Structure 1
């Protein structure tokens, strides 16, 4: 075994590598390249190899294994990628192709799973609940992703979709979702979903930060949008707690920065909870944009 463990965050616009020290879990090198995904799948693979070769030269060691956070899931039955918003990856045997190209072992996980793992092992969870057994990590941004960690290990599930909270139907006959269903949680409480709802109410567009500012200044449409967010968040999170009863829920992404979620969200959750009190801690993450690539590296450790 070498001195370092390696992670790659494979995004639609950038590929980021982190080289971590086994000795103290500190990051010794972070480096990025543009993905250039519009040039196709094979080009993306070559960009990954270029980045790893550059990092290996700088740290003086080539990885024996690399963890990858991916914008989708490797289907355990078919062995190819699915549900990737970087569509060039869909239908491809990404793990096998990377192993052949890099001549090293690779481990893949959805980017939301990597977020959950990083915050559990290196981020906010050790600070607020160091003995936590079950952690649910949520990314509420343009879309909604999530991951489940039990006793420090990711739970992937039979279909590779464990923790896929964002594609449960929250509103019957709601807005269409890219997954083919309608009213998915992702269409309701994602940043994009909230902006669409506000636009329908107010007949004008606004970004999520602008909606928060408008609500604070008394805009009734913005206030209604955030009230609806709290109510729907409470219902959706209560369903998760009723099933897996986590110690901590970490809420990342742009929507996770909306402070009223933490002020009023617990009461909204409790209305739907199969318990008279709410003990689960609902917290913001600690690692910022480092969580994805650090979590990818944790797949190796």
Structure 2
């Protein structure tokens, strides 16, 4: 295991993180050793059909940052990082592919920097999750970490030496939209059979409906599998096979020191047993030893990761 080098503490820095979600905006302030000093939350303004949703979100985030900065000891430096449910287009600087649709097409980072009068960092929530688990969670001490958020969708991030690797186009880790089945379900991104259509909660539920004409959640399908229901078992076993193929292929390409899973789907215990067997089956190595780890930080990962990306 390749350990992350300790952060330079010659010039102590406080870290402020903001996690912007669909229902809440959360702030955290970390001291120079990474300990949480305070946490604050507010509801995310929602007005999907209104013209002012973006302005309300921007103002709420700005207000929360300002109130948190007031808690930083006088004279101490403090970085700011913001995690969002989307990505920043590397060319235009505009938000794209955001679940909070009011952000799409707006220069959110630029606008916040202008309001604050200083630079900030901004990354998607999967990158923040990955960084938090690599620095303070389940994957602490591993050099190259691939983080996966499995929920209604499927996101990913790459941490190398305790830093997020975004890539030339700021899409590093966007594993969920890698097409693994050209004959598969059409994804909202426009491609066919993306990883997200195969192993996200919504993807598995859709597969069950296509097979049976009945609607069950992945949680219900999992319980049915455990009770021996034939239809649930067929779909759940396919889910495990797809999980193994998708993650096994990724391990063959990236060969990370560890993989950490988050999101609601990551709480399915079979992923770490039967799913792991399938990963080893599909990876291009006869003795794959890559740890597949369950998250440790839970809902805190996003905001803690946002604090660590700050500038």
TM range (shorter): over 0.9
Rounded to whole Å, the distance in 2 between the matches of 1:63 and 1:168 is: 40
Aligned to 2:39: 30
Choose from 18, 26, 46 the match for 2:59: 46
Aligned to 1:163: 173
Q: Within 5 Å, which residues of 2 pair with 1:18-167?
A: 18-22=28-32, 24-38=33-47, 39-58=52-71, 64-126=78-140, 130=141, 132-167=142-177
Q: Within 5 Å, which residues of 2 pair with 1:171-190?
A: 171-190=181-200
The number of residues matched between the two structures is: 296
Give the conservation status (yes or no) of the 8 Å contact 1:6–1:63. no
Deviant stretches of 4+, over 6 Å: none
C-alpha RMSD over aligned residues: 1.8
Structure 2 unaligned segments of length 5 or more: list them: 1-10
Rounded to whole Å, the distance in 2 between the matches of 1:135 and 1:281 is: 10
Give the conservation status (yes or no) of the 8 Å contact 2:131–2:164. yes
Using the TM superposition, name which of 202-211 and 223-232 deviates more: 202-211
Shift of 1:173: 2.4
Q: Within 5 Å, which residues of 2 pair with 1:290-301?
A: 290-300=300-310
Give the conservation status (yes or no) of the 8 Å contact 1:64–1:104. no
Give the conservation status (yes or no) of the 8 Å contact 2:199–2:239. yes
TM-score when scaled to structure 1?
Answer: 0.93
Aligned to 2:8: none
Rounded to whole Å, the distance in 1 between the matches of 2:68 and 2:276 is: 44
Rounded to whole Å, the distance in 2 between the matches of 1:109 and 1:3 is: 20
Shift of 1:112: 0.1
Aligned to 1:258: 268
Structure 1 unaligned segments of length 5 or more: list them: none
